[in-house]
Structure 1
């Protein structure tokens, strides 16, 4: 017995169903790599049976990569002989969060088959579904941890790029470029949260380019603003200032988008030590921007939204950089108050922990150790998958404050520092594998 046979059996796929999945995975790999080996791949019923029975443990290229694309596991793990107990153990950790796996697979297969049947026509219904999926995913960012968002966004990007080859209708291509750009932006945010800075840069630049091709100004502004975030996190605040000024030059940005860019500008200026400009940007971020809306920050929303609690949370980090403890405390408290007042429309798991960490740092600036410990305690209990790079940076900033001479003799400070060390030891989640670049700067991802 092997894991491949168990996964196929669990999914309910017969040979014809698996062959369709196999060809779809190969098409995505060809689009991504350009390797001709993935074009027009085929698989016989005999080979499929031999894989399931364990007669083959290492098929020839391109089969290993295609199998990994389908199951997310290396071929050696899928086809290696296993005892029944070993297979059951592996199945228990293959996909523990997808309780509706059978329904998801059935819905995906039905939609993919329908899309394939209409591939040469590329009906608007297919594009409508793709855009709906993108909006739903963007709004799920507060309810699902980054590694799950990453996998779904990756699939949407793959579908969009494949469908771009199936239509020459300019309006449809524009819609697909927009979907590809938004999916790339979501992937970039996930890469950042998972500590993979080089890939976050690459994916954000892809989003900016898709926005340029689609002539979608809000997407371009969003991507250039996010590049500013990545630059100041990388220790290059001068380039961050240049990028945010470029982002603010795009037209057609609604009030929410302008508030977001002002908050990012405040952080960039604060990193540069330009206090006057930082304070002006903070005031601009919370000022009345009118009722103008755009179809990204206000229409899609979710990850692309930037409501007032998020603005205040971002401003608290900027004020901490300026060593304005009172201002940072006020902004962090306003953020938490807004979340408490309208939690149904907020994402407490995303915003509140970062605001709490900033509040703890601000309280330590006025030597309120007990208050800081109370503020940070709920944060340190968060599950591992929610300890993204932005939050971890803020928690580490609290750790830095605790190292000051004023707290060296306090047992509570030592205990809190130990808890922070335990918290950061397993954050951010290492689900992208080895080779990622970890982030060790203070601040946050907004």
Structure 2
């Protein structure tokens, strides 16, 4: 008669030992005696243990079972364990053949590579995203960037070619950097900082100096806007020590100047702006930043934008107005399909702030007209922060009681109430729906 399948681990061990129930009880009594436990088991109780139809025995019986079988009682009274058959002994010839087959399989896995066209496609999509940053609303761009990043991660799992992995890490760093910019535009500085750090990590993995510098510049921007300008200065100075010449260093010098202006370091700001201008004269041949362009690039319109914002922070209305006007002129010279909407309107706010510093509230209202007309899906965090600085100036003692100042303050409040940061913070489904 075929032996029934064991119902418990104890019955499994019992069957493997080829014991009878009577022998089981006798062996249990002997184990109890060896332990000095005054406990015994009847055949009916033993059958219940073997079948798994009994509650956990008394403590003394548990100690005897565990000592006898070398396993916890809970395991013994639980389900049987899967029996693992011992691996068959192999001859030397079988070992040699198997080793050869395993070597070939591993080599084929190591040789797994992507079709070059797949990498070209990812590079092209990343470049389009970098250039679309200027013209596409942040929320619309966010989904595309996340999908592109996930595609890069998938391809990283499909190749073992070091050069292909390096290219994919470069694309991943670029996309994470763009996600940092978009996250900041949407009013999520912590996420923006995380994305910038991720981009920097990818740059470290492949030792890519331009990616490292760009990622640090993004981090500096998020940091000084988050109210930590001294920390931003430290990050910028450390990055400048190793950044390559040209576009990478120019951008770092300009964001360095922005951070310095927030702590009132007037002379250091002037030096940083001069250094940035010198680097910009040497820019244009970076195979990564200049080749990709868009949000990765840095031209004279952005130079003027950064300089104008720095002078606003320093309270220098004349220089701020001149730089903001230059930025607007350079932005306007671009084809409509390539104009950076947020940057151009940032220059409008800086021009308004400069006019406020000079006591020209009528000019302030004029400069802000196109800003207040901006649709909510383009009201970035940088614009909101610039307007907050302007609102602070309008609320100063100098303009207390001025009708224009009060009206502008109300318009700024209405603008920021419908900014991207406020919109994206709202729940997807409102209460009651």
TM above 0.5, yes or no, is yes
1:262 aligns with: 253
Residues 1:285 and 2:310 are matched in the alignment: no
Q: Distance in 1 between matches of 2:294 and 2:209?
A: 18
Q: Structure 1 374/243 Cα, relative in aligned 2: closer, same or farther at 3 Å?
A: same
How many angstroms does 1:133 deviate by? 0.4
* Greater displacement, 423-432 / 278-287: 423-432
Question: Where does residue 37 of structure 1 map in the other structure?
Answer: none
Q: Residues 213 and 249 of structure 2 are in contact (CA less than 8 Å); yes or no, is this contact kept in structure 1?
A: no
Distance in 2 (alpha carbons) for counterparts of 1:349 and 1:170: 39
Task: State the partner residue of 2:313.
Answer: 321
Preserved CA contact (<8 Å) 1:316 1:358: yes
Equivalent of 1:150 in 133, 142, 156: 142
Q: Secondary structure at the match of 2:281?
A: coil
Partner of 2:265: 274
1:218–1:250 CA contact under 8 A, matched in 2: no
CA distance in 1, matches of 2:192, 2:135: 21
Q: Which of the pair has more CA radius of gyration? A: 2
Describe the shift of the 1:335–1:321 C-alpha distance in structure 2 as closer, same or farther (beyond 3 A): same
TM-superposed CA distance for 1:434, in Å, is 5.7
SS at match of 2:134: coil
More relative contact order, 1 or 2 (CA 8 Å, 6+ apart): 1
Give 3-state SS (helix, strand or coil) of 2:420's partner. coil
Residue 165 of structure 1 pairs with residue 147 of structure 2: no
Give the structure 1 partner of residue 343 of structure 2: 351
Which residue among 182, 197, 208 is the counterpart of 2:189? 197
Q: Aligned partners of 2:179, 2:229: CA distance in 1, in Å?
A: 23
Asked whether the 8 Å contact 2:113–2:161 carries over to 1, the reply is no
TM-score where L is the length of structure 1? 0.68
Equivalence map 1:30-429=2 (5 Å)? 121-253=113-245, 255-287=246-278, 289-291=281-283, 293-344=285-336, 346-429=338-421
Give SS of 1:295's match. coil
Deviation at 1:262, TM superposition (A): 1.3
Q: Deviations over 1:233-280 (max 9, x none)?
A: 222222111110122123434x22222111111012112222111111
Task: Figure out how many residues of one structure are paired with residues of the other and give that number.
Answer: 316
Distance across 2 between alignment mates of 1:433 and 1:345: 30
Q: CA–CA distance in 1 between the matches of 2:220 and 2:338? A: 25
Residue 322 of structure 1 deviates from its aligned partner by 1.1
- Cα deviation, residue 407, structure 1: 2.3
Q: How many Å separate the matches in 1 of 2:336 and 2:414?
A: 31
Give the CA deviation at 1:357: 0.2
Partner-residue secondary structure (3-state), 2:159:
coil
* Corresponding position of 2:7: none
**Unmatched tracts of structure 2, length 5 or more:** 1-110, 428-433
Measure, in 2, the Cα distance between the counterparts of 1:142 and 1:133. Answer: 15
C-alpha distance 213-348 of structure 1, shift in aligned 2 (>3 A):
closer
Q: What is the deviation of 1:285? A: 2.3
> CA 1:339/1:327 → structure 2, altered by over 3 Å: closer, same or farther?
same
* SS of residue matched to 1:149: helix
- Provide the aligned C-alpha RMSD in A: 1.9
Query: In 2, distance between residues paired with 1:171 and 1:120?
Result: 12
- TM normalised by structure 2 equals 0.70
The match for 2:37 is none
Mapped partners of 1:148, 1:433: distance in 2: 16
1:353 and 1:391 in contact (8 A); partners too: yes
Distance between the aligned counterparts of 1:416 and 1:343, measured in 2? 31
User: Could you give the per-residue CA deviations for residues 143-202 of structure 1, whole angstroms, max 9, x where no partner exists?
Assistant: 211112111111111011111111110100000001111111111111111111111111
Partner Cα separation in structure 2 for residue 399 and residue 244 of structure 1: 28
User: Deviation at 1:223?
Assistant: 0.7
Question: Against the structure 1 CA distance between its residues 342 and 434, is the aligned structure 2 distance closer, same or farther, given a 3 Å change threshold?
Answer: closer
Cα distance, 1:218 vs. partner? 0.5
Provide the rounded CA distance (Å) in 2 between the counterparts of 1:428 and 1:229: 18
Indicate the larger mover: 344-353 or 160-169: 344-353
Aligned to 2:19: none
Structure 1 segments unaligned to the other structure (5+ residues): 1-118, 436-446
